[in-house]
Amino acid sequence: MAWCEANRVDFLFGLARNERLEAEINTELMTAALESIRTGGPARSFKDFTWSTLDSWSRSRRVVGKAEVTGGDANPRFVVTSLKAAEIGGQYLYEKLYCARGEMENRIKECQLDLFADRTSAATMRANQLRLWFASTAYVLLCALRRIGLAYTQFAEATCGTIRLKLLKLGALVRVSVRRIKVAMASACPYRNAFGLAYVRLRNAVAT
């Protein structure tokens, strides 16, 4: 944080919670607990305040606390930032900016786990880079398939692993002739309609 401030770089970092921080949002936690009891669902509220550690920070900084109660359990979270309250509100800062970081990590994890981008055990760096390129290219193609071919279907928000397992890893009869390749799927395939719709949409997208 000190480096960012010295170099005029804005930052937004998660802040490990402790008893002092939790005490700072105790009122908000009680409010969220009452709201959760009233509605029967999760509830949250936010508090914007200035904070400093006892000895490790060189100055006071802006902290946003999220007081959340889910299923009767308190789930307080905190972030520290250089962005001013006049520039961006605490709730928007946490939900739209900070949580977006987690969503980006989910996409990286999707590529890593579903498309095996972590298989970089080759002997050379160049070979491992090529493997990573292949996984990244496959991810881009599957994202296009999901966005164009599978929109408004049960797979519109499916992970790459689900799409690969249910739409790409299929048993089929393949007939190859001089002019065309025919793929005959089983009539009992539960996802044949989504598969056919994706094919039509992708063909139309290429044609336009």
Average of per-residue pLDDT across 181-208: 90
Give pLDDT, residue 176.
Answer: 96
Instruction: Return mean pLDDT, the chain.
Output: 93
What 3-state DSSP class applies to 196? helix
List, for residues 131-174, the tens digit of each pLDDT value: 999 999 999 999 999 999 999 999 999 999 999 999 999 888 99
| pLDDT over 80 (residue 208) | no
Average of per-residue pLDDT across 35-57: 94
- Tell me, what DSSP letter sits at residue 124? S
Give pLDDT, residue 187.
Answer: 86
CA dist., res. 66 & res. 100, Å (int): 15
Give yes or no for a contact between 60 and 51, defined as CB atoms under 8 angstroms apart: yes
Q: Which of 128, 127, 156 is nearest to 142 (CA)?
A: 156
pLDDT range class, residue 183, cuts 50, 70, 90? confident
CA dist., res. 145 & res. 155, Å (int): 10
Q: In the beta sheet, which residues pair with residue 46?
A: 66
Owner of token pair 């802040």: 15
Q: Which two tokens stand for residue 159?
A: 């992970």
pTM of the model: 0.63
